[in-house]
Amino acid sequence: MNNIIWKIKSFEEITTSELYEIIKARVDVFVVEQDCPYPDLDDYDQKALHLWAEQDQKVLAYCRIFNQGIKYPETSIGRVLTTEKGRGKNFGKQLIQYAVETIENRFRTSEIRISAQDYLLRFYSGFGFEDTGKKYLEDNIPHTEMFRK
C-alpha cells in the first residue's frame, strides 16, 4: 500500500469528487454492507470536519469530527468506517488516533463522546473511551454511548 494520503477538510473545502467518494464509502459500508437503510445525509456534514485516508482517489477510512455543542455538549466523532479495500491494514486505528489528536489540537479538549456499535466497544476502549452504560438500538444495530475524558 503506497500513496496513502490523509486529508482533513471542512465541508466548504471538500471538492465535489471527494464528497462523492465519501458518500459512496458511507453508503457502501452502512447502507449496503450493514443492510441499514437510514438517512445518511443528515444536515450535519456542513458542520463537521471530515477526516479520511485515500488511495487513487478512493476512500479507505473515514470519519467526521464535531466541535462541542453540535452533536453532544462535548466534541464527538461519527460515521467511522473502513472500506473493504482499506480493511486489515490498521487504518481504523490510525483514523481514530488522528481524530483524537485533531480534537485535542483544534478544539483544545480531550473530552469526546461517541455512539459506538457494540462490536467495536473493545476497539474504542483502546483509545481511552469508556462505556457510559447508555445502550440503545440505532437503525436496528446495538449501540453504546462512550466517553473519553
Domain annotation covers residue 56: yes
Angle formed at CA 74 by CA 72 and CA 137, multiple of 5 degrees:
40
Question: SS3 for 25?
Answer: helix
Give 4's pLDDT tier (boundaries 50, 70, 90): very high
pLDDT digits (tens, 9 = 90+) for 119-130: 999 999 999 999
Domain annotation covers residue 146: no
The boundaries of the domain holding residue 97 are: 5-110
Name residue 41's amino acid: L
Question: SS3 for 7?
Answer: strand
Domain annotation covers residue 54: yes
pLDDT digits (tens, 9 = 90+) for 105-118: 999 999 999 999 99
Q: pTM for the full model?
A: 0.94
Domain annotation covers residue 13: yes
- What pLDDT does 38 receive? 84
Question: SS3 for 60?
Answer: strand
Domain annotation covers residue 131: no
Phi, psi of 47 (to 5 degrees): -100, 0
Place of cell 491494514: 89
